[in-house]
Chains A and B, each alone.
Chain A
Amino acid sequence: MRAPLSWIREFAPIEAEPSAIAEALDRLGLEVEAIETPGREIVGVRVARALEVRKHPNADKLSLVEVDYGDGTTTVVCGAPNVVAGMVVAFAPSGATLPGGFTLEKRKIRGETSDGMLCSARELGLGDDHEGIMSLGEGSALGTDVRDVLGLHDVVFDLSITPNRPDAMSVIGIARELAAHFDVVLNISEPENTTAGSRTADDISVEIEAIDACPRFTARRIAVTMGASPVWMQQRLALAGMRSISNVVDVTNYVMLERGHPLHAFDLSRLPGRGIIVRLAREKETLTTLDGVPRILTPVDLLVCDAQGDGQAIAGIMGGSQAEVQTSTTEVLLEAAYFTPMGISKTSKRLGLRSEASARFERGVDPNGVLAASTRAAQLLIEVAAAQVAPEPIDVYPEPVQREKISVRTARVNAILGLDLSAEWIKDSLTPLGIAIEVDATLDDGFIAVAPTYRPDLEREIDIIEEVGRRVGLDEIPRTLPHTTEQGGGLTVRQRERRLVTDVLVGMGCSEAMTVPLIAPDDVAAIGLDPDCTVRASNALRSEEPVLRPSLIPGLLRAAAYNAGLSRADLALFEVGHVFLPPVGDELLPDERDRLAVLIAGTVRRAPVELDRPVDVHDVTEIIDALSVALELADLRLEAGPAPGFHPTRSAAVLVDGESIGHVGEIAPGVGERVGVGRPLVALEVDLDALLDGIRRQRTFVPLSRFPTSSVDLAFVLGDGVSAGAVQATLTATGGELLEHVYPFDEFRPGGRSRSVAFALCFRAADRTLTDSEVAEVRQECIDAVVRVHGAEFRT
């Protein structure tokens, strides 16, 4: 909402400086996005008339315009499609300065000299309209400074109004807030029901079929003389960011800006049956709106129809093209109505059609201010369009909306705000906002606040408390801290361990990525998952990426591809984040899980101290080991086997307490290449909660043995499919308490034969030095167990 200061001052005589007013608006919750002084930087821009418009000889979209600027004529090149001979325009001659400090110079455009330019509204700092050059209308002498014509010496507050404040979508509403704040009298006179001319009784009709959606509809029949609106009106509309169209349309917009109440003028001669029916649309009914777009409707949309039942406007949002006011119009039906906010909001959202009218109706205009808006428009039409107004409007309003009566307790106001205000202070603070105070004998310490109907946001005690808070100034309330002794702050064990997991990964050389969880179906299929068995967004703006990731790997692959494109092919990334699997059973929401994934690519660079080498699976398995150690997991093992997206013979399941929690290994050939990431590529993905649910090692202290160790090396020939990890587990189990540690130290594959793996075992007893025969016995037990369990051959 753009509010010119001069217009505000018409209703509230505020003396304060614009900066102080802006600060007050912020403090009141009417957020100032910008304070504009459009005229400040404009120098030398003058009123001119386009005398002749010719095509530019060297450019299709440009024209040559000869302009009369009062003191002479000259030629400019213009790119706007709307320029026509006779139009009165804002002409910036060479030497003139526009907002932003831009000074024009005479220059050649495609071979033709342009002696300045014709300005659009945006170029003059008046809102965003840049579709064509601005038409100034008749009435100003050529050569006049446009700042005088457009009122550009004014200050404009560009306000962002929250959805709960329909009243602040008007100059009067803003003036009311400021008048209360600066403690000045608000001057609003109710417009008198003026009649002019000799129109006889109305012969128009109004019928509401959908009273829930349209509780009130008023119509007036007004004869008009079409033309341009006066300069003062055009000025205000321009400052408020609206284009001048014609005197009749400008009046409806002017009243909307002044009072917050959208109006619509229909050309009565093109409204069959000379009447109105308000009804819900039929399924698939279409209506072409003013902007020329055919709109397909549904039965939730409300239509303002002619008396024959044909739609003429989408109620409260946009008029239709058929009964649009034109230069030939002689008589209008002026609509002033109250449409319920919910319906307007739904239709406007569904059609993607927002207008100044819908922005007000969906917030909720004042149902009891309808007639005053209509009357005000009639007054103005008499003034600017030589209107003849029928004496009484038709007003269909079967169930008038009553003002809310709200009980307010003084103690409650103070309890919520943290203040100690008196009842009198509270009451006095509310009345300037239009809230009436009534005494309620049943309340010990309170009163009744009667909310005005232009404030539909005031329904409950808490709403009144907010008003009191605004009157005090939320920023003025003394700041305190809660003092609770019933709850201590802290992280849960799970939360601390999640931090530990991240710390381990960082310590292991991985950097944390955050990838977008919406991905393409092809990326899902590429890692061997079924893209049809996923959860999808139904309205993703990026329709090619609708899948909620079932795995973190595709996102990390995309991140690796992004970096490969930057010549950063060597990387170690991890991500901790949610994946989304289809709902389990009758659940509504997806099976959403926290996962941890690692992707390592390229070369492990150690030169010149050690040798460079390509990444390999051990770079990820060592991360698993580090996590296992950090979390003190009692039983984390790898079990060789294929997994979707992984290499068939170079991957393993990660088992915690015997249950698979994810996979680790080399990414399947082709998966990385598909997105431009070369091999080798190794990865790990596990369910984070399953990892953290793992049983932990006993932390009970075991006395540290002071006796010497006995070392034994054992080598076995292992058949295909027998993993070193499994053999090691068997040795650990068999070695029992005497075995202090065991690790593989050699792998040897004699040409073409089964591989041989050698383990170093270290034995130590808690209470004695082991004898040779004891060591020999446990050594034999270990050998026998491996031979028996794994079918291995012991190598002597």
Chain B
Amino acid sequence: MDTDAVPDLNLTAALEAVSAARSPEQLAELRREYLGKRGVAARVKETIKSLSPEDRPIVGQAVSLFTAKITEALDAADAVAGPETIDESPIDLTLRGHGRKRGHMHLVTQCRRDLEDVFVSLGYQVAEGPEVESDWYNFEALNFPPGHPARAMQDTLYVDLGEPEQVLLRTHTSPVQVRVMESQTPPIYCVMPGRTYRNETLDARHSPVFHQIEGLAVDRGLTFGDLAGTIEAFTSAYFGQKVKSRLLPSYFPFTEPSAEFALSCVFCDGSGCRVCSNTGWIELGGCGMVDPNVFRSVGIDPEEFSGFAFGFGLERMPMLRYGVEPIKTFFDNDVRFLTRY
């Protein structure tokens, strides 16, 4: 479509005239000539009502196009030539309205990135795995034989595939350890964040879904001291230097020796408060030296390599750092929460 259908609207000539004009006065004159009350566009528009119904839209379109193009050209030329006078009508910059707003990353994702970055700086890579797993990866390769009482520590959600109780929603991120050790040769320094499941109903204190991050190091000569040092390094990187860590013996089938690690309470600096039940410590997660049985199940020689692993709940971190509670808050997707952080 163009303006050729209407001879009076010579767009090409008009545009040339605008580009030839040099002074604000000349431009003002042209604006009157083309767009003024008695200008070219107005005159052509007046003729429309006398035209046949078929022609009316064609001419109407031509006028609109002519007006738009000339306005654009005149505005651009005005901007270059400078206005006759400064427009002093104020614009209130504090009148914000709603406008376009930036969105927010979920707090769990923010925390996951922060932790990934801490570990990357310590020389770790990041790995992930499926959320639906076989019994082998979730339990058996991790030294949980069938019927092992430690299986009862986790309320497992099973999936209707394969043999009964053969396929499940992973109860921890530890199966990724097995997958990483199966597919890579040591040295391995890896963290494995991801979603995990328990057979719970979503309520204030329980959630069928939550997130963990798991760390694994396999190399020659790694010791329990290296594990303890690594835990101290990442907790102080995330929570600050004044936070202390503590390791107490515990039990997990896939590590030996096993420990639970705790932080000095971030709320009372270890002096004792409600959050830490007056102990001065907050339990964060589990850790230990990789059990030789796990190494054997993935074909790594435990005499040649040693390793350590640790894991903890991702939601715990913002719960501790910002006091978010209950855990349900993370999965309600209330936009007031999502846009708070």
Contact = CB atoms under 8 A, between A and B. Distances in A.
Given A469-B224, A474-B224, A796-B2, A164 B251 contact: yes
Contact of B123 (A480, A488, A511, A568): A488
A489 B158 contact: no
A27 B248 CA distance: 5
A506 interface: yes
Interface string A364-405: 000000000000000000000000000000000000000000
B127 to A, nearest CB: 9
Contacts of B169: 537, 548
Nearest to A466: B257
A562 B257 contact: no
A326 B336 CA distance: 62
Contacts, number: 285
Nearest to B233: A481
B158 A539 contact: yes
Contact of B109 (A512, A535, A548, A608): A512
B31 interface: no
A475 B166 CA distance: 38
Interface string B151-170: 01101011111101011010
Interface in A575-625: 577-578, 580, 583, 588-590, 592, 605-610
Contacts of A537: 157-160, 169
A762 interface: no
Contacts of A535: 132, 159-161
B224 A416 contact: yes
B147 A475 contact: no
Contact of A511 (B2, B5, B96, B103): B103
Contacts of B161: 535, 583, 588-590
Contacts of B200: 541
Contacts of B226: 418, 480-482
A506 B105 contact: yes
A563 B333 contact: yes
Nearest to A490: B120
B323 to A, nearest CB: 19
Contacts of B325: none
Contact of A796 (B4, B113, B120, B166): B4
Nearest to B129: A592
A536 interface: yes
Interface stretch (B20-28, B82-90, B214-222, B263-271): B214-222
Contacts of A566: 334-336
Given A482-B222, A588-B161, A715 B1 contact: yes
Given A479-B232, A715-B1, A31 B97 contact: no
**Interface-centre pick from B100, B200, B207 (highest chain A CB count, 10 A):** B100
B335 to A, nearest CB: 5
Given A363-B149, A475-B246, A416 B195 contact: no
A589 B292 contact: no
Interface in A20-62: 26-29, 31
Main secondary structure of the interface of B (DSSP, over half): mixed
A205 interface: no
Nearest to B306: A416
A609 B99 contact: yes
B125 interface: yes
B105 A512 contact: yes
A418 B225 contact: yes
A418 B103 contact: no
B121 to A, nearest CB: 7
Given A469-B224, A542-B208, A563 B334 contact: yes
A344 to B, nearest CB: 9
A627 B98 CA distance: 24
B195 A463 contact: no
A481 B230 contact: yes
Contacts of B121: 489
B97 A573 contact: no
Interface in B105-146: 105-106, 108-109, 113, 116, 119-126, 130-134
Given A590-B159, A606-B98, A482 B256 contact: no
B248 A474 contact: yes
A572 B339 CA distance: 11
A346 interface: yes
A343 B147 CA distance: 8
Interface residues of B, number: 100
A70 interface: no
Interface size class of A (residues with CB under 8 A): 35 or more
A489 B119 contact: yes
Interface string A522-566: 000000000000011111111000001000000000010011001
A463 B259 CA distance: 13
B223 A415 contact: yes
Contacts of A329: none
Interface string A728-755: 0000000000000000000010100000
A495 B99 CA distance: 32
B2 A609 contact: no
A766 interface: no
A568 B335 contact: yes
B57 interface: yes
A768 interface: no
Interface string A152-169: 000000000011110000
Contacts of B116: 491
A475 B222 CA distance: 17
A482 B61 CA distance: 75
Interface in A475-489: 475, 477-482, 484, 486-489
Nearest to B148: A345
B326 interface: no
* Best-surrounded residue of B187, B247, B291 (most CB of chain A within 10 A): B247
Contacts of A509: 100-103
A103 interface: no
B187 A571 contact: no
Contact of A513 (B188, B217, B219, B333): B333
B142 to A, nearest CB: 14
B34 interface: no
A142 to B, nearest CB: 38
Contact of A538 (B133, B159, B202, B257): B159
Nearest to A717: B1
Given A589-B132, A795-B1, A474 B247 contact: yes
A517 interface: yes
B158 to A, nearest CB: 5
Nearest to A461: B292
B157 A540 contact: yes
| Among B5, B101, B291, B338, residue most surrounded by chain A Cβ atoms (within 10 Å) | B338
A492 B124 CA distance: 11
Most buried by B among A26, A479, A609: A479
B219 A484 contact: yes
Given A479-B229, A487-B187, A488-B123, A756 B1 contact: yes
Contact of A514 (B149, B153, B333): B333
Given A516-B209, A535-B159, A562-B333, A474 B228 contact: yes
Contacts of A486: 187
Nearest to A605: B98
Given A608-B97, A750-B57, 14 more contacts: A31-B248, A345-B148, A470-B249, A480-B225, A482-B219, A491-B125, A492-B126, A535-B159, A540-B157, A589-B161, A592-B131, A606-B98, A608-B95, A609-B99
Interface of A: 26-29, 31, 162-165, 341-343, 345-346, 349, 362-363, 415-419, 460, 462-463, 465-466, 469-470, 474-475, 477-482, 484, 486-492, 495, 499, 502, 505-518, 535-542, 548, 559, 562-563, 566, 568, 571-574, 577-578, 580, 583, 588-590, 592, 605-610, 713, 715, 748, 750, 756, 758, 795-796
20 contacts: A345-B149, A346-B147, A462-B257, A470-B249, A475-B247, A475-B248, A481-B230, A482-B219, A484-B187, A507-B102, A509-B102, A513-B106, A537-B159, A578-B195, A580-B132, A588-B162, A588-B166, A589-B167, A592-B131, A796-B1
